[in-house]
Chains A and B, each alone.
Chain A
Amino acid sequence: MESIQPNKVQDKINQLANKTVYVHLETTNGAYASHFDENAYNVGAFIRNAEVSYQHGKIVSTGGSYRVGLKLDLGWVYAEGLSDYEIDEKGRLLMAGHDREGRLMVALEISETPFSHGADPDE
């Protein structure tokens, strides 16, 4: 992954609009948060392979990181804290935000084909 280039991400978001796409959306502070700090809370959520189609989407800079919103017929997909991106060899738009130690805090990924599910097949 590299630092988000908003123009490139916006182009890809536009390209994927009004198509059936699969979304991976995730946020986490890790399963060990309250183990290492008793005042911390474990918080996380993910949805993998939500099948959606969005009318339009936008990436917005917050100075340092980015928010992305996708407008659906019946709702929204939203992520905050995205800083890195990659368009991988399968043409998928992968975006993520990491903390100072490089740990993932948030991810939003959009693909025209489903993401791997179950365990990944043995290579």
Chain B
Amino acid sequence: MSKGHVVVIFPHPDDESFGASGTISKFRDEGVPVTYLCGTLGEMGRNMGSPVFANRETLSTFRRQELKEAARQLDIEVEFLGYRDKTLEFEPRDKVASHLKKRLEELEATVVITHYPGYAVHPDHDALGAAAVEAVKLMEEASRPDVWMHAISNGHADVLGEPDIVYDIRPYWEKKLAAIQAHLSQADGMMSLIENHDQAAEQLERLKTERFYRWHF
């Protein structure tokens, strides 16, 4: 019997590692194939490595390689959707949605993991999450995958309530760390942001649990 196909849809190389790599590892452990549809190359990222080794024009090449390494660590397939960092919210939503729908049908997705539109902080996260939800809405009811959404914004639980799916991913912590660290140009910056931030311990602890809300159609 088919074990299904998990399709992760986020806009940036590293979103998968910070946001869902524990859950991804759990699925891979169970033999479920996972494909990451990565919206952009993160070419407008601010982190250039620490110490700096990339510049605005070389960053995309580094980030593409970094994601390939993270994908090797997580044993998943990666496809780049070809949009440009910071611009997803300005693309026509229906066009992005039909692009995603086509890939979801071809991949026979059974679970889609994406950002919770409106609760995902970065405009690219919100825009691609919204397009992913739209894509699944456009599908025949019988072939619709489950949609799991990752919320990031401060205080989102006050509005959304408790998430539907909560995984303690500590059994996969080593894998998650390895995937995060594969993103050499980004990991230090992001980790130090987390560590220097008032609620450092809480932020780090947060990475050890992955939570998702289910979209109800």
Contact = CB atoms under 8 A, between A and B. Distances in A.
Interface string A97-123: 010011111010100000111111011
Interface residues of A, number: 33
Interface residues of B, dominant DSSP:
loop
Given A35-B153, A88-B57, A104-B46, A117 B84 contact: yes
Interface in A76-95: 84, 86, 88, 92, 94
Q: Top 5 nearest A-B pairs by Cβ distance?
A: A119-B82, A103-B46, A102-B52, A31-B122, A102-B50
A115 B84 CA distance: 13
A36 B197 contact: yes
B189 interface: yes
22 contacts: A31-B121, A32-B193, A35-B152, A35-B153, A35-B154, A88-B55, A94-B57, A96-B48, A96-B55, A98-B48, A101-B188, A102-B52, A103-B46, A103-B47, A103-B189, A109-B56, A109-B57, A116-B60, A118-B84, A119-B41, A119-B80, A119-B81
A47 to B, nearest CB: 12
B173 interface: no
Interface of A: 1, 24, 26, 28, 30-32, 35-36, 38, 46, 84, 86, 88, 92, 94, 96, 98, 101-105, 107, 109, 115-120, 122-123
